[in-house]
Amino acid sequence: MPDHTRPKGEHEGKVALVTGGGRGFGKAFGEALSARGAHVVLADIDGAAAAEAAAELAARGASATAVTCDVADEAEVGAVVHGVAERHGGLDILVNNAGLHAAYNRPFTELGLAKVRRVLDVNVMGVIICSLAAREAMKGRAGASVVNISSSAAYANRSIYGVSKLAVRGLTVSFAREFAADGIRVNAIAPGLIFTDAVRAELSAAEADRVLGEQILRREGEEQDVVEALLHLVSSRASFVTGETLRVTGGFALSV
């Protein structure tokens, strides 16, 4: 359900870079930010998916562009951020959303070292590379905000995926401390099981019931729940919030 209390042009004139923006949460984040006036740059290793998502937004009258980018590639990320800053004068919002997910949520011994390294390259080094590359372009801009996407798996730590998302929580605190002098807030969101179309296609009924049974709120998590968390964290209403990880799990991840 749309939030009619939020100004439609809340991010008018702002520039947002969303990694993993071609589909899933990234695409939804881009839609929400562009609907509130931001120019959105959707970056994805799948350039065709990013281009399609940006074209959909443009067809609705939004301002959006797409770039192909592997967040684990320092040179590619640097070129993307440089291009955004040169074209738009700077960067206001960075959403570190790109990541490797379900297929890597398995024991270390099953994955092997090559896949473990790839998870760390994308889920951990990707956040570091993008954040450091964006810092100068965001420095001193009113309301500048970085949002990292962690996971409820960070509170369970049963696999390299969970460990990588725990690292994202730690990076959020570290970068919040480092970037505060430049007026940049850094926060994270840890989504629980969100019933997107892809999740419904992959998840068995038994597994879905198990997760719902461990939640305090016994309804299915929706993509919009995570989008609303993002919109709050990048808004002026969260201007005194930094270094935090907001859990959007229906009470699933309540460990301290």
- How many beta carbons lie within 10 A of that of residue 8, not counting itself? 11
End-to-end CA distance of the chain: 31
Q: C-alpha distances in angstroms, 238 versus 65, 143, 252? A: 27, 9, 24
Contact predicate 167/121, CB 8 Å: no
Torsion angles phi and psi, residue 64, rounded to 5 = -150, 145
User: d(Cα 87, Cα 148) in Å, to the nearest integer?
Assistant: 24
Exactly one of 161, 175, 179, 252 is catalytic; which is it? 161
3-class secondary-structure state, position 78: helix
Q: Which residues, at least 6 apart from 213, have a Cβ–Cβ distance to it below 8 Å?
A: none
Helical spans, DSSP H, in the chain = 24-35, 47-59, 74-88, 108-111, 113-119, 126-138, 160-179, 197-202, 205-214, 223-233
User: d(Cα 161, Cα 99) in Å, to the nearest integer?
Assistant: 10
User: d(Cα 33, Cα 36) in Å, to the nearest integer?
Assistant: 5
Q: Which residues, at least 6 apart from 132, have a Cβ–Cβ distance to it below 8 Å?
A: none
Would you put residue 183 in left (φ > 0), alpha (ψ -120 to 50) or beta? left
Q: Catalytic annotation on 161? A: yes
Catalytically active residues, by annotation: 161
